Structure 1
Amino acid sequence: MDRWQALPLWDDPVQDAVPSAAPVSADAAPIAPAASDRRWCDTVGVFDLETTGVDVTVDRVVTAHVGVLGPGGEPLSARSWLADPGIEIPEGATAVHGITTAHARAHGRPAVDVVAEVVAALRELFAAGIPIVAYNAPYDFSLLKYEALRHGIEPIIDPAPVIDPLVLDKAHDRYRKGKRTLEVVAAHYAVTLTGAHDAAADAIAAGRVAQALAERFGLDAPAHELHTQQIGWARAQAESLTEYFIRIGRLDPSDALDGSWPIR
């Protein structure tokens, strides 16, 4: 079996409602490194996690998706996972992604196996020279790092190149008002997001948003250069938000938001 064909690991109505995550033929050609004369956005990896909560140090993976999109945003390859996280899934988390503790225990695979396979899938794409898109990358990559450490798996401690549409959107359309959630930003760039908070749907939408940003703002620098630029932009964005929160009284002046990117 091709390791990159889509794997329908559970019978989930939200997943079934996402046509963009359709299975890829097992005899599809393997993904090759992007040629030097191609733009980074012509072939992008995509990555997303749905989890038990928002604390990257203690919360766990519930579902995951890693895939590859072609120049028009079409899925070239995809793999999805459902894990039994080994802890109760809080009702608040279930309300977001739809996965209950009972469902994860009955249909999910051991977390150690899922985490190992997700890490291996990401390593494979990085080794092939394919940039990986993750919306709000520090969340997904950091949580995966702590999950790997928890299960005795060598973590990805310096993922690169990473493309984060949240950082890019804030950097290139700084003064646009309104929320910057994936749903809102996808709509702004005319990217359809069906079944939000499904790992496959979110990952694919984020990849297409990154491609739309590349077209809108002419982001033609090599992926590694863009990765380095995002480190500075993310730090500056955190500093600006820290100043704003202190000014409105939501943050103590002795505190500061962590601007580390793409992993904390």
Structure 2
Amino acid sequence: MATWVDGPLLGFDTETTGVNPFRDRIVSAALVGRGAHGTEQRTWLIDPGVDIPEQAAAIHGISTSHAHQHGMAPRRALAEISAELTAAFRLRVPVVAFNAAFDLTIIERELERHGLLTIGERLGRPLAPVLDPLVLDRGLDSHRPGARKLVDLCGYYGVRESGRLHTADVDVEATLDVLAAQTREHPGLVERSLGDLHHWQTDQHQRWAETVNRRRQREGLDGLDAGTEWPLHTVEEPCPPTRADSVPA
């Protein structure tokens, strides 16, 4: 019997100028659709209109000059990306993103910046359903030691990356493969509805964030609170939520 894991699924990832989803800009993005009819992929290279810091360029390999010379105007690219995401959400096709709250927050803020309707405004409801392999992993095995970057989850779940991670299309493929591996290791995931999984992830992320914040408070660390909202941050924290690996992905 076919289940949601058989598709369609829409993977989403961005590469950015930094780790602040409220203030930084999208430099590249990828959408990868998977389903019964195979895989379809779209990618965008964007001229963000600001300098790309050397630290970010060293991660994803896109320099300011390259983006300026070859990138699309952000308004056009954002309109195309958001149209695809909005269509998926309207059809209740799950959007799959690693650390989804970063990517969904940054595209919504970018749409606002360029005077375009956000995805939430077009839908008239919260962005759902979303599947986030990072949040799923934390909820499924919260006590497992070690880092949980995308590369770490690839190693843990036996996923071989198809290319260099921190490239949007490669990251999306890896994220979809990790999700598939998670359903094989935890078949109970497939038995749950997408709506149930979405709400469960919301609870799991909030629980994780509150635990992290209590630990940081005990250790006397200031300005490092983890955002408790998922899959979209609506209010910028004093120290804004960042990617799971603390670098542009």
TM over 0.5: yes
Per-residue CA shift, 1:129-173, capped at 9, x if unaligned?
Answer: 310110001100000010000011111232110001111001111
1:67–1:78 contact (8 Å) kept in structure 2: yes
How big is the shift at 1:257?
Answer: 2.5
1:134–1:162 contact (8 Å) kept in structure 2: yes
Q: How many residues align?
A: 224
Report the AA paired with residue 100 of structure 1. Answer: S
Identify the residue that residue 231 of structure 1 maps to in structure 2: 202
Moved over 2 A (4+): 247-252
Match of 2:46, SS state, is strand
Indicate whether 1:182 and 2:150 are aligned.
Answer: yes
Indicate whether 1:117 and 2:86 are aligned.
Answer: no
How big is the shift at 1:200?
Answer: 0.3
Indicate whether 1:204 and 2:173 are aligned.
Answer: yes
Per-residue CA shift, 1:185-234, capped at 9, x if unaligned?
Answer: 11110111221100000011111111111221120211121001111111
1:242–1:251 contact (8 Å) kept in structure 2: no
Among 35, 38, 54, the residue aligned to 2:2: 38
Report the AA paired with residue 130 of structure 1. Answer: V
Matches of residues 25-104 of structure 1 in structure 2 within 5 Å? Answer: 38-43=2-7, 44-70=9-35, 76-104=39-67
Identify the residue that residue 141 of structure 1 maps to in structure 2: 104
Matches of residues 145-164 of structure 1 in structure 2 within 5 Å? Answer: 145-157=108-120, 158-164=126-132
Once residues 204 and 3 of structure 2 are traced to their aligned partners in structure 1, the CA distance between those partners, rounded to angstroms, is 21
Match of 1:53, SS state, is coil
Per-residue CA shift, 1:93-136, capped at 9, x if unaligned?
Answer: 10110000000011001011111111001112222331011000
Once residues 244 and 119 of structure 1 are traced to their aligned partners in structure 2, the CA distance between those partners, rounded to angstroms, is 37
Identify the residue that residue 172 of structure 1 maps to in structure 2: 140
- Alpha-carbon RMSD across the aligned residues, in angstroms, is 1.6
Per-residue CA shift, 1:68-96, capped at 9, x if unaligned?
Answer: 1237xx96111000000000000011011
Q: Give the TM-score, by structure 2 length.
A: 0.86
Once residues 222 and 136 of structure 2 are traced to their aligned partners in structure 1, the CA distance between those partners, rounded to angstroms, is 25
Match of 2:2, SS state, is coil
Identify the residue that residue 236 of structure 2 maps to in structure 1: none
Match of 1:212, SS state, is helix
Identify the residue that residue 216 of structure 1 maps to in structure 2: 185
Q: Structure 2: any 5+ residue segments left out of the alignment?
A: 121-125, 234-249
1:83–1:110 contact (8 Å) kept in structure 2: yes
1:133–1:207 contact (8 Å) kept in structure 2: yes
Once residues 179 and 195 of structure 2 are traced to their aligned partners in structure 1, the CA distance between those partners, rounded to angstroms, is 15
Q: Give the TM-score, by structure 1 length.
A: 0.81
Relative contact order: is structure 1 or structure 2 higher (C-alpha 8 Å, sep ≥ 6)? 2
Judged with a 3 Å threshold, the aligned counterparts in structure 2 of structure 1 residues 38 and 222 are, in CA distance, closer, same or farther, namely farther
Once residues 102 and 201 of structure 1 are traced to their aligned partners in structure 2, the CA distance between those partners, rounded to angstroms, is 23
The answer to which of 37-46 and 133-142 deviates more is: 37-46
Match of 2:111, SS state, is helix
The answer to which of 82-91 and 212-221 deviates more is: 212-221
Identify the residue that residue 230 of structure 2 maps to in structure 1: 261
